[in-house]
Structure 1
Amino acid sequence: MRPAATFDQILTETPMPRRVLAIAAIGGSAVIFDGYDLQSLSYALPKIVAEWHISPVQAGWLASFTFIGLFLGAVGLGALGDRFGRKRMLVLGVSVFAVFMGTAGFAGDYTQFAILRFCAAIGMGGVLPATIAMLGEYVPLRRRGRMTAVSAGCFTFGFVLAAVAATLLVPDFGWRPLFHISYAALIVAVLIAWFVPETPQFLATRSRYDEALATVKKVFPAIWPTAQAADPATFFTGPRTENGKIQLRTLWAPRYRNSTLTLSLLYLFLQFVVYALDFWMVSLLVKHGLSLVGSYSYAIEQAAAATIGGFILGWVLDRMNQYVALSIAFAAGGVCLVLFGFASSVIALYILNALAGAFIIGGQNVVHTLVMATYGPEARATGLGWALGIGRLGGLLGPLIGGYLLAASLPFPVYFLVFAVPAVLCSITVVILRAVKTPQPAPLARQLDPKY
């Protein structure tokens, strides 16, 4: 058998140690709170609108302020993660959103709430890119699709918990306790700071080889004997950065330019439909005649289906062409949205709601694998942060445009026709990305696998 020469090659051939599973569990907990905090606004919104007498357009702007913060957090903390480390940015992001989101439950008016929500969103924006970049470097390539699905699936599982909490708390206790729960995320920040080491790949890109080897010894004891005997400069492959600096302009260098542009469009379209759907689903169903608690059941089902769908898609992505699988998923999700708008049977509504959640939001959970495959280790967090940041602009536009549509009192199917258009554009953009992506250097185990 060919002897493994680099860390990534050995990692591909080594069983996943328990310490990595523990790191994944802690990172997943951070992402669960991230998803919970983002989605809790949607479930609290009908009560907030009634308490402060705000219009649908003002409610849409409230969501848009959130996504401006998410954009700044994703791009800013993502880039800082490639400079100072995924771990530090993860601790910072979780701490910021926990403090500000928990405090938002004490807001006395619309303006106070909007400011606190904006500050919390900056922290929320940095959590997902830091977690995915970190876990993507701790797991072998052959499991990266599943691990990314699990990480992002924790995000939509946070949606489920937010819907369940809203069902239990909002009717009797109001909307404020939903946000006080966020203070508990500070426990996760402490666990990350105490237990989670920085990834060896990141440390190696800074020529911090002693720390990288120490992490290998602690996290990957089976790899340690080989690492100890190897030359660190060749064992840890991947480009170093000058003076530890990564700049956004790296993403627009000739090597990455076309991919960065295409990924930007993909995330813009995808998060437009995801967050337009998430933010307005409860309000649309209430306006359509359902009770508030009844509309929560659709939100819970959709979030649960997204989580399960993401896991299934992650498994599929590890076994077939990633681009084909995601293109089909997004197109199918768009068709389900169109049919949902015209469905009259309760059974059909539930089925189509679940399928749309599984294909579109579940697809969002695993689309990050395309980013990990596009950029080298020196720019992964920056690239993912940029993609998520541009996506947040789509997330800003989705709720805002949905607010104007809701204020116009259009027929129920029109909303879902509008939401279906960007889903189809996602399918097309994935195909384009496959055509323009520049192949990245990879371990031999990956080069020999035809599905990539």
Structure 2
Amino acid sequence: MPSAYQKALDGPKFKSSVIKHYAITRFTNLIPRKEHLVFDSYFWNPFKPLTQLNARQWNLFFAGFWCWTWDAFDYFSVSLNVSALAEQFDVKTADVTWGITLVLMLRSVGAAFFGILSDRYGRRIPLAASMICLTILQIGLGFVNTYQQFLGVRAMFGIFMGGIFGPAYAIALENAPDTAHGILSGIFQEGYAFGYLLVVCFQRAITDNSSHSWRALFWFSAGPSVLFAIWVLLVGESDSYLRHVQLMNTSSNENASKRFINQGKMAFKRYWVVCIYLVLLMTGFNFSSHGSQDLYPTLLTKQLGYGVDRSTVTNSVANLGAIAGGLLFGHLSNYIGRRMAIIICCIGGGAMIYPWAFVRNSGINAGVFFLQFFVQGAWGVAPIVLAELSPPEFRSFVGGLAYQLGNLVSSASSTIEATIGERFPIYDADGQKKEGVYNYSKVMAIFMGCVFGYLLLITFVGPENIHADLSYKDEENDNEKNDDSNSLDVKGDDTEYLETV
């Protein structure tokens, strides 16, 4: 595996020669370098790099992983019960999907607040606080009786859900060895698909067999949240973050608050272009997941008339495909590059839109498996891309906020699909319009085609900082020791473009 590292990125200066050079290297840098595309045992066995993690690193990783997984469980608990909630509150399906949209819109608030706390005071306290607040809201949601109460509680959900990703991905990835970053990124991100898979199973086991229906699912979900909060508190602080604090205390005479503010000003000056790019990138990622997942259970039950058992099987198959894709492409990205891995997934996902949306026999399971295989294959690269491109001192804030701002932009995915879907009613054999049944397949297929095209384009034009060292360094000393740092650029020219101009 490659052992070279890059420094953190700087913002570019906009000179015509530099822009021209950067444009050319968007093509050339997609080609993996021979010294890194090594077909060794690490390449063929994606789990071998995991043997390099010690017990402490595994503990930190799984603390973040399970918090992220349960974030997904809470989120998709509503997605799987859209029809039941609409019936309960006597509103339309599109009205209930507004509750999903509201969560996505407010996540950026939580990401900003808890991200700053995480970078200033450490990962574990903000992460544990978010999980405990979610526990209270999970219990409360089981007691709501009106649509307005539902929206109010879901709005609060959005704020505290937004505080999960930044601290969780930071504590999970920043302490691990470089050789395992790709596969760990895939495993971590597919905690979301795993959470979806868990809620599909518990939906069948609890919701469909309880007199309290969907309420019982939320009451159940409160229990594990408490356990994961305790785990985070007991695991201790991120070793990488502690090294950063120690370094700052020995290299500066400023008080901690003033130093943190000055670091923020410097980071914004250096990273503002990269930060904007990350928001645009995460917008594409979030459109791909929400556009293909949120309304799909409604498509199965309402449009195709699937019963609970068949719908459970199809949703489970989709998430098995998601987990497989995230692990595979997360691992491959360590060799073929982050951008190349995402682009391959966009092309593969586009090819699977038709069977995913329009196959009506048993082949639908293959369609959903491979569509989610490519959607989440691209997503498996996202956490490590965020970690490598974010300012080291503000990894939790920038990575978490970029992720959730992308969520904000894509927040109306399910509402858009549900609303447009109502323009395409389905008729029975006698030519009568079926009540509440719409052609979601057509709308979702067109929507996903546009999303894959956008994600491919924004990935192609963006930078890459593959194999960047995620541990905190004394940059002054590093610069003195690594005057020829551009020779360490794994992909060729991105660091040169972003640092030396």
Q: Determine if the TM-score, normalized by the shorter chain, exceeds 0.5.
A: yes
Matched, 1:87 2:102: no
1:354 maps to what in 2?
A: 369
After TM superposition, give the deviation of residue 181 of structure 1 in Å: 1.7
SS at structure 2 position matched to 1:379: helix
2:217 maps to what in 1?
A: 178
Q: Which one of 266, 278, 289 corresponds to residue 263 of structure 1?
A: 278
Q: Which one of 398, 417, 420 corresponds to residue 405 of structure 1?
A: 420
1:296 maps to what in 2?
A: 312
Matched, 1:433 2:462: yes
Instruction: Note if contact 2:189-2:380 (Cα within 8 Å) is conserved in structure 1.
Output: yes
CA separation of 1:84 and 1:305: change in aligned 2, threshold 3 A: same
Instruction: Note if contact 2:63-2:172 (Cα within 8 Å) is conserved in structure 1.
Output: no
Q: 1: CA distance between counterparts of 2:65 and 2:136?
A: 19
1:416 maps to what in 2?
A: 445
Matched, 1:310 2:326: yes
2:379 maps to what in 1?
A: 364
Please list the CA deviations of residues 188-212 of structure 1 after superposition, one character each: whole Å capped at 9, or x if unmatched.
Answer: 1012112x222233234334679xx
Describe how 1:7-86 pairs up with structure 2 within 5 A: 15-86=52-123
After TM superposition, give the deviation of residue 249 of structure 1 in Å: 6.3
Instruction: Give the fraction of aligned pairs with identical amino acids, expressed as a percent.
Output: 19
Q: 2: CA distance between counterparts of 1:439 and 1:376?
A: 15
2:18 maps to what in 1?
A: none
Matched, 1:192 2:232: yes
Q: Which one of 184, 190, 205 corresponds to residue 147 of structure 1?
A: 184
After TM superposition, give the deviation of residue 448 of structure 1 in Å: 5.3
Q: Which one of 94, 101, 118 corresponds to residue 138 of structure 2?
A: 101
After TM superposition, give the deviation of residue 319 of structure 1 in Å: 2.2
CA separation of 1:246 and 1:109: change in aligned 2, threshold 3 A: farther
CA separation of 1:152 and 1:243: change in aligned 2, threshold 3 A: same
After TM superposition, give the deviation of residue 395 of structure 1 in Å: 3.7
Q: 2: CA distance between counterparts of 1:23 and 1:287?
A: 42
After TM superposition, give the deviation of residue 340 of structure 1 in Å: 2.3
The amino acid that maps onto 1:350 is N
1:119 maps to what in 2?
A: 156
Q: Which one of 319, 326, 350 corresponds to residue 342 of structure 2?
A: 326
Say what the alpha-carbon RMSD is for the aligned residues: 3.0
Q: 2: CA distance between counterparts of 1:47 and 1:376?
A: 44
Q: Which runs of 5+ in 1 are unaligned?
A: 5-11, 211-231, 235-239
Q: 2: CA distance between counterparts of 1:447 and 1:191?
A: 42
Q: 2: CA distance between counterparts of 1:401 and 1:250?
A: 39
After TM superposition, give the deviation of residue 161 of structure 1 in Å: 0.3
2:36 maps to what in 1?
A: none
After TM superposition, give the deviation of residue 295 of structure 1 in Å: 2.3
Instruction: Note if contact 2:166-2:401 (Cα within 8 Å) is conserved in structure 1.
Output: no
Please list the CA deviations of residues 393-452 of structure 1 after superposition, one character each: whole Å capped at 9, or x if unmatched.
Answer: 1341212212212322364323211122112211111111127x7996789999758468
SS at structure 1 position matched to 2:294: helix
Q: 1: CA distance between counterparts of 2:217 and 2:93?
A: 21
Q: Which one of 393, 401, 422 corresponds to residue 386 of structure 1?
A: 401
Q: 1: CA distance between counterparts of 2:258 and 2:487?
A: 28
Greater radius of gyration (CA): 2
Matched, 1:201 2:237: no
After TM superposition, give the deviation of residue 282 of structure 1 in Å: 0.8
TM-score, length-normalised on structure 2?
A: 0.75
After TM superposition, give the deviation of residue 131 of structure 1 in Å: 1.1
2:205 maps to what in 1?
A: 168
The amino acid that maps onto 2:342 is L
Q: 2: CA distance between counterparts of 1:248 and 1:242?
A: 10
Instruction: Note if contact 1:202-1:377 (Cα within 8 Å) is conserved in structure 2.
Output: no
Q: 2: CA distance between counterparts of 1:382 and 1:145?
A: 21
Q: Which runs of 5+ in 2 are unaligned?
A: 5-48, 426-438, 472-481, 493-501
Instruction: Note if contact 1:79-1:247 (Cα within 8 Å) is conserved in structure 2.
Output: no
